[in-house]
Amino acid sequence: MNGNWDPWGQKPVHYVALWKSVVNAVRAIPGAAKKVAFLWAPNINPPIEGYPFGGLGDAPFTSAARTSSVAIDPTEFAALDTNGDGIFDNGDDPYSPYFPGPEYVDWVGAS
């Protein structure tokens, strides 16, 4: 989710939309709300390793610069750049872009 080691990583707009669609689909099943809980658990790295987390090269960027000009998807970049300085770096919040909202999360954890 908030790491880049998977092809779907560091794409919060798509992640949140998919999370909500899964929650809505499961909760639409009669009786499921009493049997299923949704755990939102972002990756947490020690400060020495820092954020943004690496692992899959420069993804989701075309170079290591991590600026809006080299972002593959401007909408995703805008969500990742939480402090609005035009750079995706350790000054940005590693969690809030991925949080789908309290109405879609039953438990919060960490991995």
**pLDDT in the model for residue 20:** 98
Strands annotated E in the chain: 39-40, 107-108
**Three-state SS for 71?**
strand
Task: Please state the φ and ψ torsions of residue 40, each to the nearest 5 degrees.
Answer: -100, 115
Token pair, residue 22, equals: 């899964």
**pLDDT in the model for residue 54:** 65
**pLDDT in the model for residue 70:** 83
**pLDDT in the model for residue 47:** 62
Map out the domains of the chain as residue ranges: 1-17+38-111
**pLDDT in the model for residue 58:** 59
Residues 6+ apart with CB under 8 A from 14: 8, 76
Compute mean pLDDT per 10 residues along the chain, 111 residues long, and list them: 73 94 97 94 73 64 75 89 91 92 96 79
**pLDDT in the model for residue 110:** 86
**pLDDT in the model for residue 40:** 95
